[in-house]
A and B are shown apart, each in its own frame.
Chain A
Amino acid sequence: MTYFPEEVVEHIFDFLSSHRDRNIVSTVCKAWYRVERLSRRIVFVGNCYAVRPGRVMARFPGMKCLSVKGKPHFADFNLVPHDWGGFALPWIEAAARGCPGLEELRLKRMVVSDESLELLARSFPNFKALVLVSCEGFTTDGLAAIATHCRGLRELDLQENEVEDHGRQWLSCFPDSCTSLESLNFACLKGEVNAGALERLVARCVNLRSLKLNRAISVESLARMLARTPHLVELGTGSFTVEHRAEAYQRLIHAFRKCKSLKSLSGFWDVAPRCLQSIYSICPNLTVLNLSYAPAIQGADLVKLIRHCFKLQKLWVLDCIRDKGLAVVASTCQELQELRVFPSDIYGTGTAAVTEEGLVAISSGCSKLNSLLYFCHQMTNAALITVAKNCPHFTRFRLCILDPGKPDPDTNQPLDEGFGAIVRSCKDLRRLSLSGLLTDKVFLYIGEYAARLEMLSIAFAGDSDKGMVYVLNGCKNLRKLEIRDSPFGDAALLENVGKYETMRSLWMSSCDVTLGGCKALAAKMPRLNVEVINDRDESDEMEENPSDMHKVEKMYVYRTLAGARNDAPEFVEIL
């Protein structure tokens, strides 16, 4: 291959789309490494602390798209203290210096300040797309900077971020000359926006295909915008509060009828069930429907709506759909690939909304199902075994039984056999989240059968160190392991230390790992960062030289080329 001119090699590499493939070819020989690194356009950094930003820019000077992830996944559930880290600024600074041709930036679970957004807005003349998912630390002022300075911006996608509202002017900062927007998502913003400015912006961006509004946008405004964007493919409605007799409602129905390209719907925060009829005309074309923020839509109305959606591939709902509603989904949505059922009553002691029956119904109707997130009040082994048989194509299977450690209610047994059936049947399973009463046995099954598993989430499960060891020794493709409230200790942690260098990260909280165990791991494996994260109130305690026998509340271990990070707060100790 070294006799081929570099242009040919580069052209061949163009056919490699996955990061993994490109990473592999770059290790073949020096020539390939060079060709690959100069031609790489899309760079993915799964852990912002695994490598220094400058090094990434130096290696890939031709980079156009950069994705970086920050905090560990359990940060989503408040298990990671607020200022743990994951700052975007160093990455933006490094890119500004090393890759000024940057066009797209995607950040997940990172702390993004207004200062970083301002720097971003001014540093990249060809900047086209900004996607922020589950980030925090910025305000609408930062968005104003993006709107003002990013000429030619095509995509501004804000998903589930915590954004401080500093006023509605940011949207007016898009200059009148801006006509390039194709995708605009500000659904997570809590404040008002200037509706007039928005409507004008939408009207002049003729290529707009995706528009997701926040709750402050009225139906009247929505109707006006839809009338100007008949080619819209994805829509997140605003609050959708309207009297069904109002004129705005009629105009809305009319506008919807003209949107023949609409394939994805979300939003519906305050919709009155009656007003759902306005979308019946679009339902037959829908492939994506997200009603998980609409608690006002209960069983019967939900079902009536779904009966029209026979092309649905992705459905997110609340559990008020009930088992009966899921049975309707099963019979109507034969193309369904992804289903998420969220709990509507998190803290209450209300009646059970969905159970194993709903899941079994779905599995018997939707044979193409490959991705599941299911919050329920109970699950049985029999049901899981049936689901495993009906749906062998799962790649993502996340089950959350709301009561931690709950057994099979019919047999009072742990759910080992049920999950065992899932891993045995679903040979392509990449992501698994467990719940319910589970012993070490389930981990034996996982270690033995889940050969493609990349991410495993464990909570309130297992009996002894053996459980964790089965997983570490068995799952050869494991990349992320996160464990909470399970009886795994130092023996398990230290059993297979080499494994952690083949993984992105390990999280353990409220387990039986001690400070001594963490120190031992850090000593054996210098290319891992072993972070011990203390609860804030305890940091006084920690200063009094805790003994090695002291159990560690939270531990985060990850492989890194960058050494210990220098931005760690006081309560994080890097061993």
Chain B
Amino acid sequence: MDGGVGYADMDALKATELRLGLPGSHPPEKPLPTTTTTARPTKRSLDEDRAARRETSEGGRATSARATKAQVVGWPPIRSYRKNSFQAMKATAEAAGLYVKVSMDGAPYLRKIDLEVYKGYRELREALEDMFKCFEGCKGSEYAITYEDKDGDLMLVGDVPWEMFTSSCKKLRIIRGAEAIRGLGSSQ
């Protein structure tokens, strides 16, 4: 979920980019059609692969290299049946989901996240940090993550078991500054 080398400058730009996808994640490239309809795709990609290999072997961010590399036909070697059912499953999984709005004090616009994606509070916290770190003053300053529950009350995130939280959370709000410090007390 982290951005990787060279993305620091891009954060501000990326934050304003309208796209579908989970916060902090880079949406996968749309897979190329797997039939060989273009002339010698595998030959070209072999050379590209060799070039990319030299790049990635410099100990690094294989993720960025992978995202830009053309996809190789028939790789990874997974049966089409499995690939197709996997894509179908992903579609239904993404269509469902528990999306809630996330607002942050001082931010010009809100975000939306799918609570079903996270396994617990730590992951949620990390994802929210990642999503909002582009905003000035966020780093180092105190903040508290709160949510509005079914009854409309503003609650501190973290008090109840995770499942109970996901089933009662209607929207999230990140409170910053003095208000947050006062509120945190001994709970975190």
Point out residues on A near B: beta carbons under 8 Å.
74, 76-79, 81-82, 134, 160-162, 188, 269-270, 292-293, 295-296, 298-300, 342-351, 375, 377, 400, 402-407, 409, 412, 433, 437, 457, 459-460, 484-485, 509-510, 535-538, 551, 553
Inside 8 A of A343's CB, which chain B residues have their CB? Answer: 76, 78
Question: Given contacts A78-B80, A346-B76, A346-B86, is CB(A405)–CB(B49) below 8 Å?
Answer: yes
Instruction: Say if the beta carbon of B133 comes within 8 Å of chain A.
Output: no
The verdict on B15 contacting chain A, using a C-beta distance below 8 Å, is: no
Residue interface bits B53-94, CB-to-A below 8 A is 1, else 0: 100110100111011000111111111111101100110110
Residues of B within 8 A of A404 (CB): 49, 53, 72, 75
Task: Determine if B89 and A405 form an interchain contact, defined as CB atoms under 8 angstroms apart.
Answer: no
Top 6 closest pairs, chain A to chain B, by CB: A77-B74, A348-B28, A510-B42, A160-B81, A78-B34, A347-B28
For B90, the closest partner residue in chain A by CB is A295
- B74 surroundings in chain A (CB, below 8 A): 74, 77-79, 484
Bound complex: CA A400 to CA B42 (Å): 18
Cα A375 to Cα B77 with chains together (Å): 9
Give A295 to B86 CA distance when docked, in angstroms: 8
A76–B31 contact, CB under 8 A? no
Residues A346 and B83 in contact, CB atoms below 8 Å apart: yes
Chain B positions within 8 Å of A188 at CB level: 81
Closest Cβ of chain B: how far from A457's Cβ, in Å? 8
Assembled-state Cα–Cα distance A188/B72 (Å): 26
Docked-complex contact B78 and A346, CB < 8 angstroms: yes
- B37 lies within 8 A of chain A by Cβ: yes
- B35 contacts chain A at the CB level, 8 A cutoff: yes
Given contacts A78-B34, A78-B35, contact A134 B81 (CB under 8 A): yes
With A346-B78, A412-B59, A535-B40 already in contact, 14 other A-B pairs whose C-beta atoms are closer than 8 Å = A74-B74, A76-B77, A77-B75, A77-B79, A78-B73, A269-B85, A293-B85, A295-B89, A295-B93, A298-B119, A405-B53, A460-B46, A536-B36, A537-B38
Residue pairs across A and B with Cβ atoms less than 8 A apart, 20 shown, are A76-B77, A77-B75, A78-B73, A78-B74, A79-B36, A292-B82, A295-B86, A295-B90, A348-B28, A349-B28, A375-B76, A400-B76, A403-B66, A406-B62, A409-B59, A412-B57, A433-B77, A484-B74, A510-B46, A535-B36
Contact with A along B127-171 (1 / 0, CB 8 A): 000000000000000000000000000000000000000000000
The answer to whether B182 has its CB under 8 Å from any CB of chain A is: no
Picked from B1, B39, B49, B71, the residue with its CB within 8 Å of the CB of A535 is B39
Residues on A with C-beta less than 8 A from B92 are 270
Task: From A81, A342, A407, give the contact of B82 (CB < 8 A).
Answer: A342
Chain A residues with Cβ under 8 A from B83's Cβ? Answer: 346
Q: Is B26 an interface residue (CB 8 A)?
A: yes
User: Does B122 make an interface contact (CB < 8 A)?
Assistant: no
Q: Please give me the residue from chain A that is nearest to B1 by CB atom.
A: A351
Quick one: given A162-B81, A537-B38, are A347 and B49 in contact (CB under 8 Å)? no
B19 within 8 A of A: no
- For residue A274, give the distance in angstroms from its CB to the closest CB of chain B: 9
A387–chain B nearest beta-carbon distance, Å: 20
Would A537 and B39 count as touching, CB distance under 8 A?
yes
B29 at the interface (CB under 8 A from A): yes
B79: which A residues are within 8 A, CB to CB?
76-77, 134, 160
Contacts of B119 in A (CB 8 A): 298-300
Q: A295-B90, A300-B119 are in contact. Are A79 and B80 (CB under 8 A)?
A: no
Q: Is there contact, CB below 8 Å, between B42 and A509?
A: yes
Given contacts A76-B80, A160-B81, contact A349 B57 (CB under 8 A): no
Known interface pairs A74-B74, A77-B78, A295-B86; A349-B39 also in contact (CB < 8 Å): no
A398's nearest neighbour on chain B, judged by CB, is B77
- Residues of B near A293 (CB, < 8 A) are 82, 85-86, 89
Complex CA distance for A350 and B81, rounded to whole angstroms: 22
Are A407 and B57 closer than 8 Å at their CB atoms? yes
Residues of A within 8 A of B76 (CB): 343, 346, 375, 400, 402
Q: Which of A82, A403, A433 contacts B62 (CB 8 A)?
A: A403
How far is it, in angstroms, between the C-alpha of A551 and the C-alpha of B46 when the chains are bound? Answer: 14
Distance between A238 CB and nearest chain B CB, rounded to angstroms: 14
Please determine whether A459 and B77 come into contact, CB atoms closer than 8 angstroms: yes
A82 to B63, CA, bound (A): 33
A406 touches B56 (CB 8 A): yes
Per the bound structure, the CA–CA distance linking A76 and B73 in Å amounts to 12
CA distance A77 to B72 in the complex (A): 11
Q: How far is the CA of A360 from the CA of B42 in the complex (A)?
A: 33
The answer on a CB contact under 8 Å between B77 and A400 is: yes
**Least distance between A299 CB and chain B CB atoms (Å):** 8
Cβ contacts under 8 Å, B57 to chain A? 406-407, 412, 437
Flag if A347 contacts B31 (CB, 8 Å): yes
Minimum CB–CB distance from A15 to chain B (whole Å) comes to: 37
How far is the CB of A389 from the nearest CB of chain B, in Å? 27
> Shortest beta-carbon distance, A40 to chain B, in Å?
32
> Nearest-CB distance from B69 to chain A (Å)?
9
In angstroms, Cα B36 to Cα A536, docked, is: 8
CB pair A79–B73 under 8 Å, yes or no, is: yes
Establish whether residues B78 and A349, one from each chain, have CB atoms under 8 Å apart when the complex forms: no
Contacts of A485 in B (CB 8 A): 42, 46, 49, 72
The residue of chain A having its C-beta at the shortest distance from the C-beta of B75 within the complex is A404
Q: How far is the CA of A260 from the CA of B34 in the complex (A)?
A: 44
Chain A residues with Cβ below 8 Å from B80 are: 76-78, 162
Tell me the minimal C-beta distance from A255 to chain B in angstroms: 25
Given known contacts A460-B46, A484-B42, A77 and B77 CB-to-CB distance under 8 angstroms: yes
A346 to B25, CA, bound (A): 15
A537 contacts which chain B residues (CB < 8 A)? 37-39
B27 to chain A, nearest CB (A): 8
Smallest CB gap from B82: residue in A: A342
Residue of A whose beta carbon sits closest to that of B36: A535
Query: Judging by beta carbons under 8 Å apart, are A403 and B56 in contact?
Result: yes
Q: Which B residues from 74 to 127 make CB contacts under 8 A with A?
A: 74-83, 85-86, 89-90, 92-93, 119
> Cα distance A404–B43 when bound, in Å?
14
The CA-CA distance from A269 to B25 in the complex, in Å, is: 25
Closest chain A residue to B84, Cβ basis: A162
Chain A residues in 8 Å Cβ range of B86: 293, 295, 344, 346
CB-based nearest B residue for A295:
B89
